[in-house]
Amino acid sequence: MDQWFMDGMDIEQLVFARAWLIDQVLCLAWEHLDWSKGCPAALLAVGGYGRGELHPGSDIDILILLEEDHYNEHQDAIEHFLTLLWDIGLKVGSSVRSLAECAHQAAKDLTIITNLMESRVISGPIVLHERLLDITDTDHMWPSQRYLQAKFEEQRKRHRKYNDTEYDLEPNIKGSPGGLRDLHMLGWVARRHYGTHDPAELLELGFLSNVEHQQLLRCRAFLWKIRWALHSLTGRSEDRLLFDHQRTLASQFGYHDHTGALAVEQFMQSYFRT
């Protein structure tokens, strides 16, 4: 996939294709085991992976959702499943919860409710996921106004962590003000209120204007390209745009020195305008 990136493949297609590929691997591993003995169980993608967005170093977060808290009924299958993933070199962040536990923890924890909002089924009974979304909707917890206020406070704390400026000389493209987390913030709030984070649907709902819709897609694509390049360059989940990385990415993205402006300066100007 890195070669596809270097060849200029559309970054949206690339990010979604990586998530699709991991879906297929996890689905095969899950269906290799017998989950019929005991209460219904489903494999869900959560967090960024739940959104269908995966970069080379992105976390692959999964939830094994059980109808009841009968863990002993699936203990062997769960252990074999996670061991199989480890053996094939797939490092995942996993949790195992019942429906009741998900509801109980989501009601108290902003991060958990956000992860569950973005969840989707990889394998297993879809009805289990539908019940999860039902018991964690705004009629039961985190009404949209309360969720919005909590997320804004979370955003303010994160911005303070990064000195409350989007013009840091070595910005974190995920956490710094104006970075990917702020785009995620927009999607989370919209999903909680409107039930969707898809930019096209938000355009139809009037949440975004045509200009805002195009700006969002353009900015997201540019930040995604930088993040993919950073992960590929460093071989890990690196979101800091350090000075050495800036020079490498400026060259990779086709910027050239000319009178009055170095390539790296032009590249960073493009980043800050985004």
* Banded model confidence at residue 38, pLDDT cuts 50, 70, 90: confident
pLDDT of residue 164: 67
Secondary structure of residue 37 in the 3-state scheme: coil
Are residues 149 and 126 both part of a single domain?
no
Quick check: 6 pLDDT over 90?
A: no
- Yes or no: say if 49 and 71 are a contact pair by the CB < 8 Å rule: no
Summarize pLDDT for 105-154 with one digit per residue, the tens.
Answer: 999 999 999 999 999 999 999 999 999 999 999 999 999 999 999 999 99
* Banded model confidence at residue 209, pLDDT cuts 50, 70, 90: very high
Which carries the bigger pLDDT value, residue 165 or residue 228?
Answer: 228
Q: How many domains does the chain have?
A: 2
Phi, psi for residue 65 in degrees, rounded to 5: -100, 125
Are residues 98 and 178 both part of a single domain?
no
Range of the structural domain that residue 196 is part of: 144-273
* Banded model confidence at residue 269, pLDDT cuts 50, 70, 90: very high
Phi, psi for residue 165 in degrees, rounded to 5: -140, 140
Domain of 94: which CATH number?
Answer: 3.30.460.10
Are residues 124 and 176 both part of a single domain?
no
Among 95, 117, 135, the domain-final residue is: 135
- Yes or no: say if 16 and 32 are a contact pair by the CB < 8 Å rule: no
The predicted model scores a pTM of 0.91
Among 99, 118, 135, the domain-final residue is: 135
**What are residue 94's DSSP bridge partners?**
62
Are residues 112 and 183 both part of a single domain?
no
Instruction: Please state, in angstroms and as integers, the Cα–Cα distance from residue 257 to each residue in 151, 246, 264, 266, following that order.
Output: 41, 14, 8, 8
Are residues 128 and 154 both part of a single domain?
no
State how far the Cα of 141 lies from the Cα of 173, in Å rounded to an integer. 31
Summarize pLDDT for 150-193 with one digit per residue, the tens.
Answer: 999 999 999 998 876 667 889 999 999 999 999 999 999 999 99
Alpha helix ranges (H) inside the chain? 2-6, 11-31, 47-50, 71-87, 99-108, 110-117, 126-135, 144-161, 180-194, 199-205, 210-234, 243-252, 263-273
**What are residue 96's DSSP bridge partners?**
64
Which H, E and C letters describe 111-158, residue by residue?
HHHHHHHCCEEEECCHHHHHHHHHHCCCCCCCCHHHHHHHHHHHHHHH
The dihedral of CA 192, 194, 197, 203: what is its sign? negative
pLDDT of residue 8: 87
pLDDT of residue 230: 96
For the ranges 15-19, 54-58, 258-262, the lowest mean pLDDT is seen at 258-262
Tokens encoding 39: 């209460």
Tokens encoding 119: 């969840």
Domain of 217: which CATH number?
Answer: 1.20.120.330
Report, as an integer, the average pLDDT of 27-38: 92
* Banded model confidence at residue 33, pLDDT cuts 50, 70, 90: very high
Report, as an integer, the average pLDDT of 32-51: 94
pLDDT of residue 166: 65
Are residues 158 and 96 both part of a single domain?
no
Are residues 80 and 118 both part of a single domain?
yes
pLDDT of residue 5: 87
Summarize pLDDT for 46-100 with one digit per residue, the tens.
Answer: 999 999 999 999 999 999 999 999 889 999 999 999 999 999 999 899 999 999 9
Are residues 119 and 192 both part of a single domain?
no
Phi, psi for residue 258 in degrees, rounded to 5: -150, 170
- Yes or no: say if 5 and 43 are a contact pair by the CB < 8 Å rule: no
State how far the Cα of 30 lies from the Cα of 44, in Å rounded to an integer. 11
State how far the Cα of 5 lies from the Cα of 228, in Å rounded to an integer. 8
pLDDT of residue 7: 79
Among 100, 135, 170, the domain-final residue is: 135
Are residues 170 and 111 both part of a single domain?
no
The dihedral of CA 212, 214, 220, 222: what is its sign? negative
pLDDT of residue 100: 97
Are residues 108 and 168 both part of a single domain?
no
Report, as an integer, the average pLDDT of 210-235: 95
Are residues 124 and 161 both part of a single domain?
no
Are residues 80 and 162 both part of a single domain?
no
Secondary structure of residue 269 in the 3-state scheme: helix
